[in-house]
Amino acid sequence: MSNMAKSAGESGAEREIDGDTVPVGAAFTDNREVRRCPFDLWERIREQPGLYYHEPIEAWIAARHADVMQVVRDPVLFSSKLPFGKVAARKDREVLEPLLENDPEVAQLIKGLKPRRTPVLVNCDPPNHARQRRLVQGSFVGKRINDAEPMVENLARELIDGFPADGKLDLVSAFAVPLPVHVIARLLGADDEQQQHFKRWSDDFMRTAGNVELSHEVVVASMRGNLELYDYLRKQIADRRTNPRDDLLTSIIEARQPGDEPFSEDELLAMFSQFVVAGNETTTALIGSSLLTLAREPHFIDELYEDESKIARFIDEILRREAPVQSSFRIATQDTEVAGQPIKAGEQILLMYGAANRDESVYGDPAIDLDAKRPNHLAFGFGEHFCLGSNLAKMEAKIALKVFLDTFVRFPLQPDAVIDYAGTYQVRSLLGLPVTLQPRGAA
């Protein structure tokens, strides 16, 4: 194990941090240095026998590939009902309860948020989860994804056409964020005017997830954003029931399977809300990590440009190495054992997909290798909870990179670039990517 962890410093270059002086528990804080490069701490957790228990998040930590796989293979024994964990849920309640008691406006708002408390897909357990998957999975077949490709390419080219003439810009805000936002908005029936709201609605949904520093204003604004999204979705659902179309919404609303109850209104609202969040947050993270890697390792630009068939493999390696969803909680439904560690019913396990994807015993050197034959990564989960939108996310990233590489030969980081990540151990998403673009064929 290396004693030194590398991290992107203030200049955008890499500098070293003495990993052995940083406590393992720092991997589960919002420490900006650790968020940039938590990999040494993950390695130290993997080296510990059994499972590591971290008291502040009240969870056992599964960081080895085999241990994560043991849990995800049994969605009955390990519940997904609280993917952000018990502590986050409790702290959310601690923030909300005084407001509910003392603020009639908040009490009224919370009544409209019933769909958010409806178990759907990510936070749903068997047998209902299996029913939901059976109903929805036909809506994500290859033809629907393939039919969306021209729309994604047109959006990517429109964004690039709007880049500043001097080539200096932030690729996260100018490209990695707006592309997935507009794609999922169009798939959910939004016109050009409505699309501008989707990023805000997504942020509003994520704002209160495990965040204990919430003011009254932030809570109320988040709730209002949630209700705006539900209002928009209700109108879209009502329209499709009256005027069905050949689109994603109609397909899911009309989904039927023998012996299965169709989706309820609250299930549809909760599901489409998850699509809004997952449809842009994870793909934004994937595109951002891909572009940062290309900016730092430009030899990949040449390799992918010369053989675009390698782009799909490059994206898979980025997903493995920089998994957008880094971790998710599970709760044991009965006494059991993982990695020789007794786990009591009701106790939590944090599945560290990002750490498992770098397990040397499974994947060898974590560096990107476009020719290596590696086992499937866990960036999209596994088994019953494997991400339904995985093919859509990879298609968007593939087209985004192809269009980008067709247009620019290099895009080095700006000398004063600051590379930071979102302050959560459950998501790995760039906050900014300042570069200087060098167009192909420029003198």
Cβ atoms 214, 93 nearer than 8 A: no
The dihedrals phi and psi of 18, each to the nearest 5 degrees, come to: -75, 100
Cα gap 200→190, rounded to integer Å: 14
Q: Is 350's pLDDT higher than 80?
A: yes
Closest to 276 measured CA to CA, from 238, 236, 244, 245? 236
HSE, side-chain direction, 13 A CA sphere, residue 433: 25
Q: Is 389's pLDDT higher than 70?
A: yes
What is the 8-class DSSP label of residue 255? Answer: -
Average pLDDT over residues 26-32: 84
Cis status of the peptide bond prior to 127, with omega within 30 of 0? yes
Q: Is 10's pLDDT higher than 60?
A: no
Cα gap 347→61, rounded to integer Å: 11
Cα gap 426→392, rounded to integer Å: 21
Cβ atoms 209, 309 nearer than 8 A: no
Residue 206 burial by CB count (10 A; 0-12/13-18/19+): exposed, middle or buried? middle
Spell out the residues 6+ positions from residue 320 whose beta carbon is closer than 8 angstroms to its own: 357, 358, 363, 374, 377, 379
Q: Is 38's pLDDT higher than 70?
A: yes
Whole-number pLDDT of residue 12: 31
| pLDDT tens, residue by residue, 165-197 | 999 999 999 999 999 999 998 888 888 788 888
Q: Please give the class, per CATH, of domain 48-439.
A: mainly alpha
Average pLDDT over residues 36-47: 92
Cα gap 272→135, rounded to integer Å: 14
Cβ atoms 42, 27 nearer than 8 A: yes
Whose tokens are 């998710």? That residue is 328
Average pLDDT over residues 301-326: 96
Highest mean pLDDT among 87-101, 205-219, 340-354: 340-354
| pLDDT tens, residue by residue, 90-132 | 877 777 777 777 777 777 777 777 777 899 999 999 999 999 9
Q: Is 369's pLDDT higher than 50?
A: yes
Measured CA to CA in angstroms, residue 253 lies from 183, 184, 278 at distances of 19, 17, 19
Whose tokens are 């979705």? That residue is 233
Cβ atoms 39, 5 nearer than 8 A: yes
Average pLDDT over residues 350-371: 94
Which pair of structure tokens corresponds to residue 234? 């209700």
Strand 336-338 relative to strand 341-343: parallel, antiparallel, unpaired? antiparallel
Closest to 1 measured CA to CA, from 45, 36, 33? 45
Whole-number pLDDT of residue 357: 96
Ranges of each domain in the chain? 48-439
Cα gap 119→260, rounded to integer Å: 16
Residue 414 burial by CB count (10 A; 0-12/13-18/19+): exposed, middle or buried? middle
Give the length of the chain.
Answer: 443
Cβ atoms 387, 301 nearer than 8 A: no
Cβ atoms 70, 338 nearer than 8 A: yes
* CB atoms near residue 63 (< 10 Å): 29
Cβ atoms 35, 322 nearer than 8 A: no
Whole-number pLDDT of residue 209: 57
